Amino acid sequence: MEPATPPIHIAMFPWLAFGHISPFIQLSNKLSMDPTIKISFLSAPANIPRISSTLSSTVHIIPLEIPPVDGIPPGVESTADMTPHQAELLKKAVDNMKPQIENLLAHLHPQIIFHDFTHQWLPSIATSLNIKTFFFSVFNATVLAYAVVPSRLVSSQITPTVEDLKNPPPGFPKTSAAAVSAYEARDLLYIFKSFGGPSAYDRAVSCMKNSSAIVLKTCMEMEAPYVEYIKSQYGKPVLLAGPVVPQPPTGALDHRWADWLGQFQEKSVVFCSFGSESFLKEDQIRELVLGLEMAGLPFFVVLNFPDGEDKVARLKAVLPEGFEERVKDKAVVHTGWVQQQHILAHVSVGCFVCHSGVSSITEALVNDCQLVLLPQKGDQFLNSRLVSGDLKAGVEVKRDEESGYFGKGDLCTAVKTVMKMVEEEPGKTVRENHRKWRDFLRDTDVHEKFLKNFVVEMKGIMYGGDGM
């Protein structure tokens, strides 16, 4: 008998932020279902306990040594525990890992390494070791196409202006994401800023230009115009892993929240959360909760604040006078972690007001939970435009074009539109489209096809094909 073909060995190397680590975990778990694939996952020791709890048992986790950098305390090895300034210093530490990664890859010698935007030096050392490099974007194709393509900058520019970023790059498709407002453009300027090293834009564009292929966690059904634009910009294989749909939550919802939600009618509760790293200003918190009160529905709001503060005291201080007494029988305002997936799946929850993070949007779309979008920064603005504009599966809260300010009436109107409280065409269309995309995202046959096609194209590149 002929010996069995050894499995393909893939290394995964995400940026040390859990918003990046999680999509790499999800992709690893999908690929590990194929018995012809072996995966090694690289990360910092401090992150491994959290990683190992969600990663397939067949994936081998390899700890990395993070070089010390002045300003980052020992043992702090992910952006979740850092200030924005420290997160920029962490990029410097990652740059200093180049010799370590080169030695590790020479020892492991995987056929392919999936890498993140912070590793612009990786393609050159991997190529010298005859290892294919796949740049894996944790962002939607819409975001990359609008902000992170070579045509976004001309050679005479150092950084774009707000006016530049309000408009799409040359050749951008005519879609709902074909322009952003002034406040959104100001926020997008961040990716072009240097903090003593290459900007996020420079890192990402270098990675994509020099990698063997670009991998996007999307599909043509949802983002075809943006995928085609990225292909035209980089002129190399663009592989689609399919939308990353979270596994159903395990265990039961905390009885405290299950009991509270259980007292309300089916699909009547508005759940509101902005994740762990998006923080509303005090005046906007007040407009948010007053807008939810105006809608007249029971609601559950999770509001977080930067680390180092007494969050409970801060929350009580920012709520409007008399608010807690008025809503005590029909509302919860909470700070801290909650089981978001469990709550979105609860029969009483009918609406989700969120910051338009990719994971939060997907968790709402796979449940029978209408979306009200209130993006706060960066990629969230373009995610929101994709869902509310192209897919027409949610409603974005109306805001001031210059400042981004929203009032309680704006929030209330958006909630009423998706919750059948305003029987007008926009709300009906959104609800129908939400149902269509929910069915699509929950179709296991569709996801199996995505995975099969992805593996075929990946192997084609690995064995010398162009994958296009």
User: Any idea which residue has 């060995």 for tokens?
Assistant: 9
CATH number of 255-441: 3.40.50.2000
DSSP state of 82: S
Q: pLDDT band at residue 98, thresholds of 50, 70 and 90?
A: very high
Does residue 84 or residue 435 have the better pLDDT?
Answer: 435
State the chain's mean pLDDT as an integer.
Answer: 91
β partners of residue 214: 135, 238
**pLDDT for residue 426 is more than 90:** no
Strand locations in 173-322 (E): 213-216, 238-240, 269-273, 299-302
β partners of residue 213: 134
**What is the predicted pLDDT for the residue at 150?**
94
State the Cα–Cα distance between residues 117 and 240, nearest whole angstrom. Answer: 17
Q: In 3D, which of 374, 355, 356, 364 has the Cα closest to residue 412?
A: 374
Is residue 227 within 8 A of residue 216, CB to CB? The reply is: yes
Backbone dihedral angles phi then psi of residue 272, each to the nearest 5 degrees: -135, 125
Other residues' Cβ atoms within 10 Å of the Cβ of residue 262: 12
**What is the predicted pLDDT for the residue at 233?**
97
Q: pLDDT band at residue 467, thresholds of 50, 70 and 90?
A: very low
Q: pLDDT band at residue 305, thresholds of 50, 70 and 90?
A: confident
8-245+443-462 CATH, one of 1.10.3720.10, 3.40.50.2000, 3.40.50.2300, 1.10.287.1260: 3.40.50.2000
* 177-213 confidence digits (pLDDT tens): 988 999 999 999 999 998 888 999 999 999 999 999 9
- Determine which helix (DSSP H) or strand (DSSP E) holds 289, and give its type and residue range: helix 282-295
Q: Token pair for residue 152? A: 């976004």
pLDDT-above-90 percentage for the chain: 79
DSSP state of 168: P
Is residue 451 within 8 A of residue 30, CB to CB? The reply is: yes
Q: In the chain, where does the domain assigned CATH 3.40.50.2000 lie?
A: 8-245+443-462, 255-441
Lowest mean pLDDT among 119-123, 257-261, 313-317: 313-317
Q: Token pair for residue 144? A: 């990359």
Degrees (nearest 5) of the Cα angle 374, 322, 331?
Answer: 50
Is residue 269 within 8 A of residue 348, CB to CB? The reply is: yes
**pLDDT for residue 1 is more than 80:** no
| Contacts with 460 (C-beta within 8 Å, 6 or more apart), sequence order | 466, 467
DSSP string, 104-115: HHHHH--SEEEE
| Contacts with 380 (C-beta within 8 Å, 6 or more apart), sequence order | 278, 355, 356, 357
**pLDDT for residue 157 is more than 80:** no
State the Cα–Cα distance between residues 460 and 39, nearest whole angstrom. Answer: 18
Q: What burial class does residue 265 get, using C-beta atoms within 10 Å of its C-beta: 0-12 exposed, 13-18 middle, 19+ buried?
A: exposed
DSSP string, 435-448: HHHHHHHT-HHHHH
* 347-363 confidence digits (pLDDT tens): 999 999 999 999 899 99
State the Cα–Cα distance between residues 400 and 389, nearest whole angstrom. Answer: 18
Q: pLDDT band at residue 425, thresholds of 50, 70 and 90?
A: low
* 65-83 confidence digits (pLDDT tens): 999 999 999 888 888 888 8
CA distances in angstroms from 311 to 120, 200, 247, 306, listed in the order given: 38, 31, 30, 8
pTM passes above 0.75:
yes
